[in-house]
Structure 1
Amino acid sequence: MSSDTAKRHAYESETHYFGMWTFLASEVLFFGGLFLAYGIYRSHYPDAFAEASGHLKMGLGALNTFILLGSSLTMALAVGAARESGKVRPWLAATIVLGIVFLGIKFTEWGLEAHENLVPNASFEFDGPHAPQARLFFVLYFAMTGLHALHMTAGIVFLSWLWFRTPHRDDLSHPVEITGLYWHFVDIIWVFLFPLLYLVS
């Protein structure tokens, strides 16, 4: 590889890293607005939010937390393998599978909540004096977990694209590392979402 080519690759790599960090910074602001709104309303209606949180499926939420922590590990191993020109595809595949399992459990949980009429629509049912505030809790819950699931889906798409491209590229370290940054960001968001939504009481 010539010096000019090496410089061009280094410049492209720095540009890609800068672009991803800029994107993640904008996502922090976006999620930060939701977290701020949640924090304000939770401070105003602590009893209602605690009561509403008790209707969530704690076991499924905890299971998904462990699954995402596992996916962070497999993603880190994929990055390490890419840096050493090792076998990246098995770790990418493991991360994709764990992401799909997470979404499957999340959709199952949403289905159970819909069956209990906890979706904040016209058929919303919640017994007790805190029904209006509980509706607000579930609005924030579905908005935050839904946005997170959307980001998870995008991450799975990126990882799948990398998995298919792996046999056709010699240097995958930069694309895998950049995608890894995004994946770890999505995992960190869930680490904050789980205690905020499931451990209110």
Structure 2
Amino acid sequence: MTEVALSHGQADPHHLGGLQSVGASHAGPASKRIVAGYGFWIFLLSDIVMFSCFFASYAVLSGATAGGPAGAQLFDLRNVAIETACLLLSSFSCGMASLAAAVGSQRWFQVAMAATGMLGAAFLGLELREFADLVEQGAGPTRSAFLSAFFTLVGCHGLHVTAGVLWLLTMMAQVFAKGFRADICRRLLCFALFWHALDIIWVAIFSMVYLLGSGT
């Protein structure tokens, strides 16, 4: 009897046998929300790798103007500052939409998502106007390697914002029709991660492309 007690004490010196059995009984696969969030983080990391390649290409080709205009002659920092403000504010309103979804307030969710969509559309409008002005000045993507890298990097981000606005409209329609179901909340989580990631990437573009480019 003593030997059995001693062997049990050595195997479980802190007397956690009961707690271990309780934890084992509740062990199982992760929830769908965790799996969806983890999988979407992997997608975002692959997207960031792609943007890293574009950033590296731009860094190498930023001086290859082929005798054409450089960033200091082309970039309008006032316009870019307005674009940045629109995207930063849209990230804030997207966070407000996530909070509204967490408390189940459909009205405030729709208001916050509508604000996010309008700010995203304003950002895209300003960016398209910038591209059109550059092309009118003869500084299109075929003018030099520098401009090719610029249009590729900034244009790819713009395409992502366009996809995000379309996704946003889809989520607004789904919540309006079906409410905050578990599967819809998982999609909202992925959308919020996507939108905030675009905001972070734009801050890097604003710093590396526009601020550094305007100083050269």
Q: TM-score range by the shorter chain?
A: 0.7 to 0.9
Q: Kindly provide the CA deviation profile for residues 81-126 of structure 1, in whole angstroms up to 9, marking residues without a partner as x.
A: 11111231111111011111110111111111111010033xx4xx
2:70 to 46, 52, 67: 52
* Residue 102 of structure 2 is aligned to residue 90 of structure 1: no
Q: After TM superposition, which residue ranges in structure 1, 4 or more long, deviate above 6 angstroms? A: 46-49
Task: Report the number of matched residues.
Answer: 180
* Residue 133 of structure 2 is aligned to residue 112 of structure 1: yes
* Residue 93 of structure 2 is aligned to residue 74 of structure 1: yes
1-side partners of 2:70 and 2:172: how far apart? 41
TM-score, normalised by the number of residues in structure 2:
0.76
Give, as a single letter, the amino acid of the residue that structure 2 aligns with 1:52: A
- Partner of 1:110, secondary structure, is helix
* Residue 138 of structure 2 is aligned to residue 155 of structure 1: no
Counterparts of 1:1-201 in structure 2, within 5 Å, are 11-42=31-62, 45=63, 52-54=70-72, 55-86=74-105, 87-121=108-142, 124=143, 135-167=144-176, 168-171=178-181, 172-199=184-211, 200=213, 201=215
2-side partners of 1:93 and 1:119: how far apart? 33
Shift of 1:36: 1.6
1-side partners of 2:66 and 2:196: how far apart? 32
RMSD of aligned C-alpha atoms?
Answer: 2.4
2-side partners of 1:21 and 1:118: how far apart? 37
Give, as a single letter, the amino acid of the residue that structure 2 aligns with 1:100: A
Distance verdict in 2 for CA 1:109–1:143, change over 3 Å? same
Q: Unaligned 5+ residue runs, structure 2?
A: 1-27
Is this contact kept in 1: 2:64–2:145, CA < 8 A? no
Give, as a single letter, the amino acid of the residue that structure 2 aligns with 1:120: P
Shift of 1:175: 2.3
Give, as a single letter, the amino acid of the residue that structure 1 aligns with 2:35: T
Shift of 1:41: 3.5
Provide the identity percentage: 29
